[in-house]
Amino acid sequence: MTKNVWLAGIPLAIGVGYVAAAFAQAKPEVLVKQRQAAMTLQGKYFGPLAGMAQGKAPYNKDTVVRNAEFLGALSKMPWDGFAESTKDEKSVKTAALPAIWKDTDKFKQAQQHFEEEASKLAQVSKNGDEAAVKAQIGATGKACGGCHQDFREKQQ
């Protein structure tokens, strides 16, 4: 019975919506919000690193290691949110360009390149010297931009 007691508690504890979402194909607008959430957090954790790489903020190894670790995880999170079902989704404002669903191979390559650079940054940040870390921050930033260039509407 112990097992049933805690199982019964889950829906109340986390809200029925999350559990329900596990059993159905996620709605397109949910997928868009989730992928945007991942991008928002990538910005949160990459911004300070870019500032350090440019010498506009003091270098702080603890921050670099933590942010790079988070980026390593976040770099993998947006992509299933670009499902075919979201191609014509209009209820959420999005800067995603049609090229995402036309030039899928190139989009996938750009994703993988970013994941690799972010993963390398997480590794280098732990043991690399400051110059090596800053170089890898630059490489990671270019990988962000490499995807935005072709697959995101130009930002104002």
To the nearest 10°, report the CA torsion of 78, 82, 86, 92: 30
30/103 with CB nearer a copy of itself: 30
Contact between 21 and a copy of itself (CB under 8 A)?
yes
Please report whether residue 54 would count as binding a copy of itself according to CB under 8 A: yes
Span interacting with a copy of itself, options 12-20, 85-93, 101-109, 111-119, rule CB under 8 A: 12-20
**Nearest CB to a copy of itself, comparing residues 100 and 102:** 100
Contacts of 75 (CB under 8 A, 6+ apart): 42, 114, 115, 118, 119
- Cβ count within 10 A of residue 59: 14
User: Binding to a copy of itself (CB under 8 A): which residues in 78-137?
Assistant: 131, 135, 137
Tracing tokens 């993963």 back to the chain, one arrives at 119
Question: Rounded to whole angstroms, how far apart are CA atoms 62 and 35?
Answer: 27
The number of beta carbons lying within 10 Å of the beta carbon of residue 7 is 9
Which residues make up the interface to a copy of itself (CB under 8 A)? 3, 6-7, 9-15, 17-19, 21-23, 33-34, 36-38, 40-41, 43-44, 46-57, 69-70, 73-74, 76-77, 131, 135, 137-139, 141-142, 144-146, 148, 155
